[in-house]
Amino acid sequence: MLEVTNLTKHFGGLVANDDISFGVAEGEILGLIGPNGAGKSTLFDLITGFQAPDEGGVRFEGRSLLGLRPDQINRLGIVRTFQKLKPFEKMTVEENVMVGVMQHTANMSKARDHALTMLSFVGLLEKRRAHAGTLSTGQRKRLELARAMATRPRLLLLDEVTGGVDQRSIPGLIALIERLRGVGVTLIVIEHNMQVLMSLADRVVALHLGAMIAQGTPAQIQADPRVIESYLGTAYA
Amino acid sequence: MTTEIILQTIISGLLMGFIYALVAAGLSLIFGLMEIVNFAHGEFMMLSMYAAFWLYTFFGLDPLLSIPICAALLFGLGVATHYGIIRHILDAPMMVQITATFGLAIFLRSLAQFLWTPDFRTIPDPIVAGRIEVMGIFLGVPQLVASAGCVLAFAFLYLFISRTETGLALQATAQDREAASLMGIRPDRMYALGWGIGSACVAVAGVLLTSYYFIFPEVGLIFALIAYVTVAMGGFGSLIGALVAGVLIGLVEALGGLLIDPAFKYVIVFSMYLGIVLVRPKGLFGRY
Amino acid sequence: MAAPGFLSETPDDPELAAARAEPLRAPPSRGQWILGAVIGVCLLAYPLVFDQPYQQHVLIMIFIYALMAQGWNVLAGYCGQISLGQAVFFGIGAYSAAFLFSNFQISPWLGMAVGVVVSMVVALLIGIPTFRLKGHYFAIATLVIGEIAQTVFINWEYVGGATGIWIPIEWDAPWFAFQFHDSKLPYYYIGLGFLALACLCVYWLERSRTGLYFRAIREEPEAASSLGTDVTRYKLIAIMVSAAFTSVAGSLFTQYILVIDPETVFPLILSILVVLMTMMGGVGTLWGPIIGTAVLFPLSEMTRIYFGGSGGAEDLMIYGALILLISVFYPRGLIGLVHKVMGRGSHA
C-alpha cells in the first residue's frame, strides 16, 4: 500500500532520515520505534508532504507522493496526527472534527452529523460544544483521532498514541486503534510504550539516529541487540 | 557621476547603516526574548533625543557626554514599560501586542508635541562638528562619530550578550522560558532587563544622532519603520542579522537614492526586504 | 476506493441521535430578533430625526470605516493573517472611482466595480508570495507594501502625483456622478447598504465551510492542511474578500469627500486604525468591527473637538492612552461585554 524507498533528509549537518526503505501492506499495523531524535516524526513529515525529502521517494498505491502538498496527500487517503497536538483551540470540538469532514461535503449539517459519529466513536460526544482548548491531553488525543478519521483515510499515521496520557486512559486508546484496524484502516504507529506497541503492531521498524537499524515482528525487535543497544545507549548517555 | 560621488555615497550609506543596526538591535533583542515587536521603539528614540536636547539646553551638557544619562533614563523607561504594560500582554494574541505598543507610540508622540511643541530643534553647537576630507571624500564629523559610537555600542552589546553570565541568562530565557526558569533564572526579570537594554540601545543611537539631526516629535517614525524592516530582514532575534541588514539597508538606501531617485529610496529598501524574505521566510539569520 | 465500513454507517445510538437533533448554531432568540429590528429601524430613521449635517456625517464615516474594518476582520480576525497594509486596497478603491470619473467621465459606480476587481487582483499578487511568511514577517511585508504603494502614487504624475485628484463637480446627474450636494441622505443610505451587505457576507461566512476553514487556518494551519484544507487557496480567498470590502470603502470615501491624495487614502495610520477599531470591538466576530468603529470614531472626533483646538495634540494623547489601556485590560474587545449583558457566550 505504502512504499518508502531510500528516504533521506538532512537539516544542516544533521541527518534526520538516512536512506530509509520499508513497505506497509493493506490492513497492517506497523510500529515505529526509536529513541528521541531517531527521526520518527521527520519520517511522518516526509510521507505526508510537510517536508520534502533530499533523496528517495514515497509511493502510495503505486502513486508517487513527491511534490504533493499535505492537503493533496490527505485527499488521497493518508492522514497523520501530530506529536505536539494541534487542536483548533478556539473552535468547538464538533467544529474541529467538521474541518476533516468538509472535503467530502460542503453541506454543514451533513458534515456535522458525520463529525458527531466520529466523536461518538472516540467517546467525546459529551464534549461536542466545548472549546477544544479546554480539553485534557487524553481528550485532545481522542479529538485528533476523531478529526483524522473524519477525512476517511485508508492509511493513518499516529504520532505517539499514549505519550503524555495518564495510565487509565491507555487501554481505551488501544481499544480504539484495534477498532480502527477492524474497519479496514491501515496504520503506522509511533509509540514509546513497548508493551502497547508489542500488543498492537504486526511488524515493527526501529530507527536510530536517522537510520533504520532493524525491522521484523515485535518479538524479533524486542530481542534485537542493536535495538536494545540504541535504547540503552541513549538511556545512559 | 564620478567615483568620488559613488564612494562618498557608499560611505555615508555605511555610516547610516550602523545607526540603523543599533536601533534594530534593541528591537531584535526584545523580540528574541518574548516575540513582541515594540511599535513604540521609534518614540523611545525620540524621547532620548529630547532628553539630550534638554540636557544641552539647561545644563550645557553636550550630547556626547549625556549618552550615559539618556541611556539610563531610557533603560528605566524600558523596564517601566515592561512592568506597566508588556507583562500584562505577554500571552495575548499578536494583534493585541501590536495595538498596545502602537497606542503607546501615539501617546508618547503626542505627549512630546504637547510638552515641547511640534517645532524642529537642533543642538546649535555640539562638540563634534565640521567635516574632514580624506582622499577627496568629505565626511561629516558628527556622522563619523555617531556611527563609530553605534559600532562601539553594538560591540559592547554583543560581548555582553555572549560573554557575561547575565547575557547568557538572557539567551537561555530567549531559547526556552521554562527550561531557564528551572535553572533558577527568573524570566520576568530577564524580560525587564531586555526591555531596559533594548531601550538603552535605541537611546544611544538617538543621542548620537542629535549632533546633526533635527529633533521633533515624529522623528522616530521613519527610524522605527526602518528598524522593523531591518530586524525582519536580518531575522527576528538575531543580533548579527540586525547588523548585516542595517548596513545593507544603509547602503541600498544611499545608493538607490543616488542611482535611481531619492523619492524611491525607501521603496527600494522595502522591495529588498520583500525580495529577501520571499527567498528566506525567516530573514537572513532568523530562528523564529 | 471505498471508505472503511463504519465511516458511512449510522449507529443506532440515542445519544448520538439527540446530539444530531440539536441545531448547529443556536438560532437568534426572540429578544435578539427584537433588538435587531429596533437597531435596524433606528439606523434607517436616524438621518430623518437628526438632520444636522454633522450628526449625519459621523454615521456616514462610521459606515465607511466599519466596512473597511470588516474587511480586515475577514482576513485577520477569521483567517488569522494580520495585514498592516489594508490602506493599499482603500487607496485603489479611492483612485479607481476618482480617476476614471475625472479623466474619462466614467460613472464612479463603475469605477467602484473596477476598483474591486483591481483590488482583488492586487490582493492575489500580494498574497501568492507573502502567504509563505508567518506572523511578524507577514505583517511587516504588508506594512512595507502599503508604504511602497503610497510612494508610487505620490510620484505617479498621471494620477495626480502628490496633489491627488479633485473630482469635478457635477450638478445635473447626481446618481450617475455619485455626487450629492443637496443632502447627505444618499451617502448615508448607500453607506449603510454596503455595510449591511458586508455583514451579510460575514454572517454567511460564519455558517459556511469557507468560514470553518478560515478559522482552522487561523488556529493551526498545519493541522488544517493535514486534514485536507488547501491553506493557501483559502488564505487567498480571505485576502480577496477583504480587498473587495476595503476597496468599496475607499470608493465611498472618495465620493463623499470628493478630493483625494496619497496622504489621505494610503497612509500607514489608516491600516493601523482598522486594526484598532476591529480589536476594540472584538476580532473574529460579526459585530466587533462595527461596535469598535462606532465607539472609536466618535471618540476620536470628540477628543479632537474638545482637546484638539490648541494644536497641543492632547486629543491624540488621550486617544493613544485609551488604545493602550483597552489593549492591555480589555484585549477581547467590547463584544465580550455585549455578550455578557445579553447572557450568552461567544461562539466565534
C170-217 pLDDT, tens per residue? Answer: 888 889 988 998 889 999 999 999 999 999 999 999 999 999 999 999
Identify the domain boundary among A123, A152, A181: A152
**Is there a contact between A39 and A17 (Cβ–Cβ < 8 Å)?**
yes
Q: Which chain A residues are within 8 Å of C20, Cβ to Cβ? A: 112-113, 116
Identify the domain boundary among A97, A131, A152: A152
**Do A65 and A171 belong together in one domain?**
yes
User: CB under 8 Å to B67, separation ≥6 — which residues?
Assistant: B149, B204, B207, B208
Residue of chain C with shortest Cα separation from B217:
C313
HSE at residue B264, side-chain half, CA atoms within 13 A, is 14
Cβ distance C151 to B102 less than 8 Å, yes or no, reads: no
**Do A162 and A59 belong together in one domain?**
yes
**Do A145 and A157 belong together in one domain?**
no
Task: Among A117, A143, A185, pick the best mutation site for testing chain C contact (most C Cβ within 10 A).
Answer: A117
- Which of C216, C220, C226 has the CB atom closest to A48's CB atom? C226
**Do A55 and A167 belong together in one domain?**
yes
Residue of chain A with shortest Cα separation from C230:
A71
Cβ distance C15 to A77 less than 8 Å, yes or no, reads: no
- Which of B95, B100, B266 has the CB atom closest to C82's CB atom? B95
**Do A143 and A163 belong together in one domain?**
no
**Do A189 and A138 belong together in one domain?**
no
HSE at residue A50, side-chain half, CA atoms within 13 A, is 19
pLDDT at A227: 84
Q: What is the DSSP letter of C85?
A: -
The Cα of B179 is separated from the nearest Cα of chain C by a number of Å equal to: 24
What are the CB-based long-range contacts (under 8 Å, 24+) for C323-326?
Answer: C323/B99, C323/B100, C323/B102, C323/B103, C323/B106, C323/C276, C323/C280, C324/B85, C324/B100, C324/B103, C324/B104, C324/B107, C325/B103, C326/B103, C326/C280
Cβ distance C313 to B110 less than 8 Å, yes or no, reads: yes
C107-165 pLDDT, tens per residue? Answer: 999 999 999 999 999 999 999 999 999 888 999 999 999 999 999 999 999 998 899 99
pLDDT at C144: 95
Collapsing DSSP states into helix, strand and coil, what is residue C263?
helix
pLDDT at C347: 44
Give residues 215 to 234 of C whose Cβ lies within 8 Å of A.
215-216, 219-220, 222-231
Q: Does residue C319 have a pLDDT over 90?
A: no
Q: Which chain C residues are within 8 Å of B85, Cβ to Cβ? A: 324, 328
Identify the domain boundary among A152, A186, A208: A152
The Cα of A197 is separated from the nearest Cα of chain C by a number of Å equal to: 23
Please say whether the dihedral angle defined by the alpha carbons of residues A84, A85, A90 and A95, taken in this order, is positive or negative: positive
**Is there a contact between A224 and A68 (Cβ–Cβ < 8 Å)?**
no
**Do A92 and A130 belong together in one domain?**
yes
Please say whether the dihedral angle defined by the alpha carbons of residues A138, A139, A142 and A148, taken in this order, is positive or negative: negative
pLDDT at C316: 81
Cβ distance B228 to C143 less than 8 Å, yes or no, reads: yes
pLDDT at A233: 62
CATH assignment of the domain containing A227: 3.40.50.300
**Do A231 and A127 belong together in one domain?**
no
B192-232 pLDDT, tens per residue? Answer: 999 999 999 999 999 999 988 999 999 998 898 999 999 99
Taking the C-alpha atoms of residue B168 and residue B33, their distance in angstroms, rounded to an integer, is 12
Cβ distance C82 to B96 less than 8 Å, yes or no, reads: no
Query: What is the domain range of residue A50?
Result: 2-77+153-236
- Which of C136, C325, C327 has the CB atom closest to B37's CB atom? C136
| pTM as predicted | 0.91
User: CB under 8 Å to B77, separation ≥6 — which residues?
Assistant: B44, B47, B199
**Do A69 and A96 belong together in one domain?**
no
**Do A174 and A67 belong together in one domain?**
yes
A107-142 pLDDT, tens per residue? Answer: 998 999 999 999 998 889 999 999 999 998 888 988
**Is there a contact between B45 and B204 (Cβ–Cβ < 8 Å)?**
no
pLDDT at C107: 95
**Do A112 and A163 belong together in one domain?**
no
**Is there a contact between A74 and A151 (Cβ–Cβ < 8 Å)?**
yes
The number of distinct structural domains making up chain A is 2
pLDDT at B134: 79
What domains sit in chain B, N to C, each tagged with a CATH number?
3-279 (1.10.3470)
- Give the pLDDT band of residue A184 (cuts 50, 70, 90): confident
**Do A91 and A182 belong together in one domain?**
no
Task: Among C24, C225, C226, pick the best mutation site for testing chain A contact (most A Cβ within 10 A).
Answer: C226
Q: What percent of chain B has pLDDT over 90?
A: 54
- Give the pLDDT band of residue A232 (cuts 50, 70, 90): low
Taking the C-alpha atoms of residue A6 and residue B198, their distance in angstroms, rounded to an integer, is 48
pLDDT at C344: 52
